[in-house]
């Protein structure tokens, strides 16, 4: 059996720290990165009316690669075959592009609420991803349901107050939601099946393999040329995008650390808490009114988070046991594990 990979986050050792310190460090990096990301996205999409999700994701990818290079990562550090990341990269880039593009049809709080519901599909999908086969206790599903119900209430209240709430945006963010359900579980499966995988490898390979996937939608929709023209007329937008990508890079590496240490479903609940904070900041910074329905939705979200945090038992989410296989010599073998690995790639 392979020894567990020693985890670090921007030079800070995680493996030799107690669990609560690991959680605090990773969560702090995640909150910082994505709170800055949220403010930048609100400014670019809703204030400047720039809705070029695929193009902005493309720019972000190159910033990621430069920052990964500064971290000292090279291709010599890759321990998984590149084909492992093809499916993951397609899902990742599709999720990013649809999420950013949906802001042209949804206001930012509505988008956050839809994305926050991913905790349920992430939990459900975990039961079917090879290498995981997760089973969760009943109270965690109830917790996730309360979160989703609160998000729906908030979204409906927002729909009554904001004209920027279109069906196209709902379809785009729903597609991103489905992709996110696969994404977190696939990332956890790779970390689980090869503990030597680092966060930098995951982000580097996903970005390198994923960037070509962005060309097709950019060219087919004409967004590449429209975005180039618009940004050339307002070059300061590139400064905002680079700053946003730098902050998001910190958040993304922190998320991968959370997935490696605590799993996809727990990470999804943490991201939901962050989105609640981002929501409140969006309303406070950009002076939007809050109603009683908004408050009811936020209350249900808080109840779901608290229920998740209350320890019902000491057992972690279990894995569905794999069916044993028989070796040629008559004993149980590792063929089942090998099949799990192959299905990922």
Give the integer Cα–Cα distance in Å for 82 and 66: 19
**Angstrom distance (rounded) from CA 96 to CA 90:** 10
CA distance to 114, 260, 322, per residue, from 156 (Å): 11, 35, 42
Contact 345, 84 (CB under 8 A): yes
Tell me how far apart the alpha carbons of residues 341 and 81 are, in angstroms, rounded to a whole number.
11
Q: Count Cβ atoms below 10 Å from residue 68 Cβ, excluding itself.
A: 20
C-alpha 63/C-alpha 57 separation (Å) is 10
For residues 315 and 136, give the distance between their C-alpha atoms in angstroms, rounded to a whole number: 10
Helix (H, G, I), strand (E, B) or coil at 69: helix
Q: How far is residue 295's CA from residue 280's CA, in Å, rounded to a whole number?
A: 11
Give the whole-angstrom CA distance, residue 248 versus residue 290: 27
Among 105, 98, 100, 116, residue whose Cα is nearest residue 162: 105
Give residue 57's pLDDT: 83
Q: Would you state the pLDDT for residue 322?
A: 47
Predicted confidence pLDDT, tens digits, the chain (345 residues): 444 567 888 878 888 888 888 888 998 898 888 888 877 877 776 666 677 778 888 888 899 999 999 988 888 888 888 888 888 888 877 787 787 777 777 776 677 667 767 777 777 776 666 656 667 777 777 877 887 787 677 766 655 555 456 778 888 888 888 888 888 888 888 888 888 888 899 899 888 888 888 888 888 888 888 888 888 888 888 888 899 899 999 998 998 888 888 887 778 777 776 766 666 666 666 666 777 777 787 788 778 777 766 655 544 455 554 444 444 444 544 444 444 444 444
CA distances from 9 to 6, 85, 198 (A): 10, 22, 10
Burial class of residue 76, CB neighbours in 10 A (0-12, 13-18, 19+): exposed
User: From CA 339, how far away is CA 133, in angstroms rounded?
Assistant: 14
The whole-number pLDDT of residue 129 equals: 67
Which pTM value belongs to this model?
0.70
Q: How far apart are CA 252 and CA 268, in angstroms?
A: 13
Question: 326 forms bridges with which residues in the sheet?
Answer: 332
Q: How far apart are the first and last CA of the chain?
A: 21
**Three-state secondary-structure class, residue 218:** helix
How many Cβ atoms from other residues are within 10 Å of residue 90's Cβ?
17
pLDDT the model gives residue 328:
47
- Give the gyration radius of the chain's Cα atoms: 20
**What's the pLDDT score for residue 45?**
67
DSSP structural state of residue 321: P
Tokens of 116: 């926050």
């Amino acid at each position: 059996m392979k020894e567990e990979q020693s985890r670090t986050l921007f030079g800070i050792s995680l493996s030799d720290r107690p669990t609560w310190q690991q959680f605090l460090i990773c969560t702090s990096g995640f909150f910082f990165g994505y709170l800055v990301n949220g403010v930048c996205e609100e400014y670019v999409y809703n204030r400047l009316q720039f809705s070029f999700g695929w193009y902005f994701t493309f720019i972000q990818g190159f910033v990621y690669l430069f920052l990964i290079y500064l971290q000292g990562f090279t291709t010599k550090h890759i321990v998984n075959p590149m084909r492992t990341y093809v499916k993951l990269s397609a899902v990742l880039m599709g999720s990013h592009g649809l999420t950013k593009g949906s802001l042209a049809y949804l206001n930012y709080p509505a988008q956050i609420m839809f994305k926050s519901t991913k905790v349920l599909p992430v939990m459900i999908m975990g039961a079917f991803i090879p290498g995981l086969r997760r089973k969760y206790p009943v109270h965690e599903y109830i917790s996730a349901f309360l979160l989703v119900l609160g998000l729906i209430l908030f979204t409906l209240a927002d729909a009554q107050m904001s004209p920027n709430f279109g069906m196209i945006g709902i379809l785009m963010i729903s597609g991103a939601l489905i992709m996110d359900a696969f994404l977190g579980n696939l990332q956890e499966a790779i970390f689980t099946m090869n503990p030597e995988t680092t966060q930098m490898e995951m982000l580097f390979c996903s970005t390198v393999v994923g960037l070509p996937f962005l060309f097709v939608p950019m060219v087919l929709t004409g967004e590449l040329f429209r975005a180039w023209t618009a940004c050339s007329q307002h070059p300061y937008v590139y400064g905002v995008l680079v700053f946003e990508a730098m902050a998001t890079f910190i958040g993304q590496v922190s998320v991968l650390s959370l997935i490696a240490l605590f799993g996809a479903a727990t990470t999804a609940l943490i991201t939901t808490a962050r989105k609640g904070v981002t929501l409140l900041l969006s309303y406070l910074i950009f002076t939007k009114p809050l109603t009683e329905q908004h408050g009811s939705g936020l209350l249900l979200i808080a109840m779901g988070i608290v229920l998740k945090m209350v320890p019902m038992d000491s057992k972690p989410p279990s894995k569905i046991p794999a069916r044993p296989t028989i070796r040629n010599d008559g004993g149980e073998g590792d063929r089942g594990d090998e099949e799990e690995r192959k299905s990922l790639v």
